[in-house]
Amino acid sequence: MSHSSSGIDRRSMFKQCVALGAAVAASSSLAGQESKRNDWHIRAKDYLASLARSDNGYAWEDQQESHLTPTYAVVGCLHRLNALPDQTEKLEQFVRTHHPAAWKRLEQEHREFEFQQIQTLQWLGADASDFVDVVSSWKEPVPYLPQYEKHRYPVFRFQLAAFTCRDLLELPLEDLSPKFITYLDERRRKNGSFNNTPANQGGDGNALNTLWGLEALTALGRTSELKSEAIDWLQACQGAEGGFRWCPKPAYAGQEDLAYTWAVVRGLSLLQSSPSDIEATLRSIHACANDDGGFGDRPGWQTNPVATFYAIDTLATLNALNRPLAPMHKPSVIVPKPTEDLKVFTCQVESHGLGSPADAVCLAKSLKIHLWGAKNAEPAWIDTAQRLADEQDVQVTFFRANEEYGTWVDVPGFGTYSHTSDVISPAAGSIGESMTGKGDLSWAEFRRKRLPTLINNDGRLIWQFGENEELARIFLDDSIQRGGFAAISTFHFGNPDFTNSEPFLKRYTGQLPFIALHDAHGPEPWWFADKTTGFRTLFLAKEPTWQGWLTALKHCWTAPVRRDEFTKNRIRIHPGSKLVADIVMKNQNQWRWWDNAAISRPLVSLVAVRAEDQYEAARPETGINLRVRWAHHHTAHGQLKTPLAEFISLIVDGKQIAPKLVERYGGRGNKLADRYYLWEMPTVHPGGHQATATVRSLESNDKESQTIAY
């Protein structure tokens, strides 16, 4: 089922749209309108062309690497504008080979990406038969992971691709399990709408989910069921400005949005109907047009290719693609222009808050980390780390960055979801009571019980991830309107980039700041250094204070950046604006951790461990133990892999000694979890002492030493 056409005979409907456009063009009385139409079509095509990249696909405006979703959107626009390129072989190859899971295998099947591949290839006139086998294997719904949704309700969008992709490939539906039909039917409300949970669990429908459901019914030849009810429900989603909301009477997140307008118009077209007030609908779409030729999701929002597709496809569905647009305008200045006195600093969110505070300080010093968010740390751990940093004159501030496991937020119609409570705050003061283990909370209850004390202490709520786009939109849109989630996670320890697997997040560029979220795992910060080194959040401020950080979040003066094996040592960055990106890139010497003598990953850590050092491994009963760790690559959960250096020597008070090697196994598969050299000194003579540990880099063969006094 094509998302670029409407009605029972979708190809015929598209031909009718083209014919209508031709008729308008032929009318001499509309010559002026034709000129205006050509003008905005030309500007739109120029904007779309600006998204082309050297890898033969199309990218988001601020990205150098193409992505399947903007490529799908651009090709869909060009298809509607009768402007597809003549030579498409390389573009077709990009589409075939750039499923987002090609970067890193996803935990859950995102079948909407196969839909985008198939639909894009068919728009290009290419053969998509190589997708027949994978689509044919989708026999029944796949339960969602219970650690993310308590009832294992499948994500509706993902599952319904089984119907739309079969329709596109002209495959029979008879091989679908009856469970699939039951799954679909159970999620239809009496008012004709659809949502993620069974109707008997309560909750109204959602405009996007209703479109997916209606597309499945169209493939099944069942659009007559509850037809009038569905039409009434969809039409009732229209708001005061002519656009559409996610449901007729949203309790929150009631903003009109191009995505909902597109979904409603497309859904109504499948039912051979249209909005009650078409002219108001058209005005709402025109209001989203920007002077760069594209469209934003809402009036004043920054242009993006998906919003542009929603606009152009909706105009085409309403036979209004050839009408002149209202005057286009620049997007509203959402991200304030950074002042010239701002510098670039580094914040790490949800880095280690357990294991060795001394190693954390060592990493912060060498990597020039100014704010270190300690994940789920005991207050004493943060106090210890801060004391060590202050004693060594390391310019880092440790703060709380907690993932509140066991928090569940229930939204009628969508389900009950975890990963809704990641909080950051200064080290001191109350941040309120965690909702861990407090049962299933409504969104209103969660906001009321969790946020006031947190925010009053200058804390903030962070969006980690959520694969259910329809629900995530509601949470984030409500946060824009009333406060709530103050930043969106991108780079992550378990996912190279959430905007790769959840590309809808890019619509919030300039609306909510993007950050990197380490979500540290494993027992020791030293054995998480691949991640601590590989990505970070840059922010603009006068000084690297907590208030400077909050100001950067408020103004979207952030730019998470990643460069590691996952990016093939190429920079990926999600700046709040082009101005932010320009400042960050012009001041790389303030943060670049490669090819920069001032900032680099440490290869050796030497710590004098005493009996009172409760968070340090190799703690003695009496005296002092010297512990030497050296750098290794590691797994995402902190188990050692290949070494980056080799141990050379440990010199104590001018004498080389022979420490013993200690290795500890544990964790997943009982693999190597810690390795260090240990020199035990049960008795230490009074007075000052000095020790130096030296290692050799296996890459450069250079030696690196660390000297401590104790």
pLDDT average, residue stretch 146-161 = 98
User: Of 5-19, 298-312, 601-615, which range is least confident?
Assistant: 5-19
Q: pLDDT band for position 334 (50/70/90)?
A: confident
CA distances from 220 to 205, 213, 489 (A): 20, 11, 39
**pLDDT attached to residue 37:** 63
**pLDDT attached to residue 329:** 78
Q: Rounded mean pLDDT of the chain?
A: 94
**pLDDT attached to residue 10:** 35
Q: Percentage of the chain with pLDDT > 70?
A: 95
Would you state the structure tokens that stand for residue 404, as one six-digit string? 């509140």
Instruction: Check pLDDT > 60 for residue 16.
Output: no
Instruction: Check pLDDT > 80 for residue 27.
Output: no
Residue 361 in contact with residue 392, Cβ under 8 Å? yes
Residue 107 in contact with residue 154, Cβ under 8 Å? no
Segment holding 89, helix H or strand E: helix 89-97
Q: pLDDT per residue over 66-96, tens digit each? A: 999 999 999 999 999 999 999 999 999 999 9
**pLDDT attached to residue 6:** 37
The C-alpha angle with vertex 445 and arms to 439 and 446, in degrees rounded to 5, equals: 75
Would you state the structure tokens that stand for residue 681, as one six-digit string? 């000194």
Instruction: Check pLDDT > 50 for residue 245.
Output: yes
Residue 331 in contact with residue 309, Cβ under 8 Å? no
What is the maximum span of the chain, computed from C-alpha positions, in angstroms? 102
- Given the structure tokens 């680099």, which residue do they identify? 600
pLDDT average, residue stretch 599-610 = 98
Dist CA 662 CA 295 (whole Å): 60
Q: Which CATH number fits domain 343-590: 3.30.1380, 1.10.1060, 2.40.50, 3.20.20?
A: 3.20.20
**pLDDT attached to residue 326:** 79
Instruction: Check pLDDT > 50 for residue 5.
Output: no
CA distances from 219 to 115, 165, 171, 181, 214 (A): 14, 10, 10, 12, 9
Q: Percentage of the chain with pLDDT > 90?
A: 92
Instruction: Tell me the residue type at 237.
Output: C
pLDDT average, residue stretch 648-675 = 97
Q: Strand 415-417: give its sheet, edge to edge.
A: 415-417, 408-411, 440-442
Other C-beta atoms closer than 10 Å to the C-beta of 553 total: 22
Residue 457 in contact with residue 425, Cβ under 8 Å? yes
Would you state the structure tokens that stand for residue 389, as one six-digit string? 């940093």
Nearest Cα to 2, choosing from 141, 130, 169?
169
pLDDT average, residue stretch 36-46 = 88
Residue 549 in contact with residue 539, Cβ under 8 Å? yes
User: Of 223-227, 271-275, 334-338, 409-413, which range is least confident?
Assistant: 334-338
**pLDDT attached to residue 17:** 33
pLDDT average, residue stretch 253-266 = 99
Instruction: Check pLDDT > 70 for residue 30.
Output: no
Q: pLDDT per residue over 695-707, tens digit each? A: 999 999 999 999 9
The C-alpha angle with vertex 347 and arms to 345 and 350, in degrees rounded to 5, equals: 175
Q: Considering just the CA atoms, what is the radius of gyration of the chain in Å?
A: 28
**pLDDT attached to residue 292:** 95
pLDDT average, residue stretch 228-245 = 99
**pLDDT attached to residue 107:** 87
Instruction: Check pLDDT > 80 for residue 490.
Output: yes
**Burial of 341 per CB tally in 10 Å (0-12, 13-18, 19+):** exposed
DSSP-based three-state secondary structure for 693: strand
pLDDT average, residue stretch 526-535 = 98
Residue 492, φ and ψ in degrees, nearest 5: -155, 155
pLDDT average, residue stretch 218-239 = 99
Domain range summary for the chain, segments of one domain joined by +? 343-590, 604-709
- Given the structure tokens 């004709």, which residue do they identify? 192
Q: pLDDT per residue over 430-471, tens digit each? A: 999 999 999 999 999 999 999 999 999 999 999 999 999 999
Dist CA 664 CA 670 (whole Å): 9
Instruction: Check pLDDT > 60 for residue 286.
Output: yes
**pLDDT attached to residue 34:** 52
Dist CA 78 CA 247 (whole Å): 30
pLDDT average, residue stretch 219-248 = 99
CATH class of 604-709: mainly beta
Dist CA 246 CA 258 (whole Å): 10
**pLDDT attached to residue 8:** 34
* DSSP 8-state symbol, 522: S
Instruction: Check pLDDT > 60 for residue 297.
Output: yes
**pLDDT attached to residue 108:** 87
- Let me know if the fold of 343-590 is the same as that of 604-709: no
